[in-house]
Amino acid sequence: MKKVFFLISIIFLFSCSITGSNNIYIDSINGNDKNSGKSKQTPWATLNNLNTLIPEPGTVIYLKSNSIFDGQIEFNYSGKNEQPITLKPYGAGKKPIINGNGEKKYTILLNNVEHIVIDGIEITNKGSQRMEARTGLTIKAENSGELNNIVIKNMVIHHVNGSLIKTDGGGSAILIRKFGEKIKSRFNGLQILNNHIYKTERNAINFRASANRNTWHPNLNVIVRNNLIENVPGDGIVIFGCDGALVEHNTLRDFPDILPDSEAAAGIWPFSSDNTIIQFNEVSGHKAKWDAQGYDSDWNSVGTIIQNNYSHDNYGGFLLVCNYGGSYKGQNNIGTLNTIIRNNLSFNDGIRPYPTSRRGIFSPTFHISGPVENTHIYNNVIIIPKKDLNIDNTLVRIDNWGGPWPIETLFENNKFYFQGEMKNQLRGRENIEFVGNMFSNKLLNSKINYISNSVLENKNFNIEKIINKFLDNNQILNK
């Protein structure tokens, strides 16, 4: 009896070890779908078999370097804590490519799953014509509860031709959606790291969620770090429905001017999110027909900190802080509150060379609009070379958006260098103060009290020297 028990135990242990090492290998060049797919010597050739399996936690799905696949991968299965399911390359060479070809709205789908790592894959999803809500990678939590530990890293995502119209559903390189009418749902520990995104339309990294404060259940421990985003016309990084998200060391540049006149977009911004930290990023060359600022603290967001960033050559300006008055104090809008903007460098922002369809010539360096409260803007350096006569020369614009005006806005200890004539537009101002700031010259028609601020009366400052000194001291670009 003991011998039988011993034999059964050996068989059980052997079977567990096989399951635990049940990795999958796929090689589009040398594989065959009739192989077992369980070793480098017996790889599959396509993704077809993969989408019929349910891998065990801890499984690694290996795609051979230099391979090119057509189709999609759908993750409808989860790993476990410290046993994630991983998709990654093997072998030397170029990243394996998955071309979605526009057949579905995604090339890779993570559908209500957790403990997943996607690492080092190149994906596209270009159809014969644009499609609304088309993405490269969609990560979805819907009536799923809390989903933990998803990591997207070292990816290249490009050529996704979604709609250019936001209200049609747009399109994104990476779309993260969470909704839960029956079961509150969210992501905890989602990380988007070291990815290269280019030529994805309309957006790059885009979170979507409910703004309802009565059922508030935000994503937690979200990190978006060290991504390169270029040649994307719309929104760069949008944090929606998160608490405590960290967005840092990202570079966004060269936004093409292809959005319709109806479309507003900006570089990095939270929407209906709390305690977002945006730091050590560089945003340049945004060209949306409306907004087009480098950074934004937006609708229904509380406690946003935008610090130690570099913004330059953005059509719409350096900064937008806004909230919509039409829904203010409703369940989806408690206001944009307690925003901090500090230690940032803005150079040559607010250079839109043509009129907007909404307000004509419009590209203030700072635009603060609607019911926003307690905005503190301090220790920033703003450098504005001389502008052409057909470009807006507004430094700070205060206005209302569908209702109440901004209140309790403080500009403190900032340095404003401008070579041409600049002005403020502070209509409807309430509790808007300028204290301890340095201006290279006086503003036109300004109500600023220069007793509590200083003026250099100098338009011949060395722009390059100021920029280099700021960047060296703040190490914004030391990534």
Q: How many residues does the chain have?
A: 479
Q: Domain count of the chain?
A: 1
CB atoms under 10 Å from CB of 65, counted, come to 16
Q: Which two tokens stand for residue 475?
A: 């190490």
Collapsed DSSP state (helix, strand, coil) of residue 418: strand
* Assigned domain for 34 exists: no
Q: Do the Cβ atoms of 110 and 146 come closer than 8 Å? A: no
CATH number of the domain residue 441 falls in:
2.160.20.10
Q: Do the Cβ atoms of 201 and 171 come closer than 8 Å? A: yes
Q: What is the DSSP letter of 96?
A: P
What pairs with residue 147 in β-bridges? Answer: 187
CA angle 387/254/260 to nearest 5° reads 85
* Assigned domain for 10 exists: no
Q: Do the Cβ atoms of 96 and 118 come closer than 8 Å? A: no
* Assigned domain for 214 exists: yes
How far is it, in rounded angstroms, from Cα 278 to Cα 301?
A: 13
Of 267, 298, 271, 296, the C-alpha closest to 283 is 267
* Assigned domain for 2 exists: no
Q: Do the Cβ atoms of 53 and 25 come closer than 8 Å? A: no
Of 357, 363, 367, the C-alpha closest to 388 is 363
How far is it, in rounded angstroms, from Cα 63 to Cα 94?
A: 11
Residue-level pLDDT at 2: 45
* Assigned domain for 59 exists: yes
What pairs with residue 239 in β-bridges? Answer: 270
Residue 73 has phi, psi (to 5 degrees) of -120, 125
CB-based contacts of 174: which residues, under 8 Å, 6+ apart?
A: 135, 136, 137, 138, 139, 152, 157, 192, 195, 197, 204, 205, 206
Amino acid letter, 350: G
Containing H/E element for 463? helix 463-474
Residue-level pLDDT at 8: 40
* Assigned domain for 386 exists: yes
Residue-level pLDDT at 15: 33
CB-based contacts of 347: which residues, under 8 Å, 6+ apart?
A: 310, 311, 312, 313, 383, 463, 467
What pairs with residue 370 in β-bridges? Answer: none
Q: Is omega for the bond preceding 397 within 30 degrees of 0, making it cis?
A: no
How far is it, in rounded angstroms, from Cα 385 to Cα 418?
A: 6
Containing H/E element for 12? helix 2-20
pTM over 0.75, yes/no: yes
Q: Do the Cβ atoms of 136 and 108 come closer than 8 Å? A: yes
* Assigned domain for 17 exists: no
End-to-end CA distance of the chain: 65
Collapsed DSSP state (helix, strand, coil) of residue 166: helix
CA-CA-CA-CA torsion for 85, 90, 96, 100, nearest 10 degrees? -30
Q: Which two tokens stand for residue 255?
A: 């936004």
Within a 13 Å sphere around the CA of 64, how many CA atoms are in the beta-carbon half?
22
Q: Is omega for the bond preceding 202 within 30 degrees of 0, making it cis?
A: yes
Residue 247 domain boundaries: 55-474
What is the residue whose two structure tokens read 């990816």? 155
Q: Do the Cβ atoms of 150 and 189 come closer than 8 Å? A: yes
* Assigned domain for 181 exists: yes
Residue-level pLDDT at 470: 80
Instruction: Mark the ranges of the chain whose per-residue pLDDT is less than 70.
Output: 1-21, 428-430, 474-479
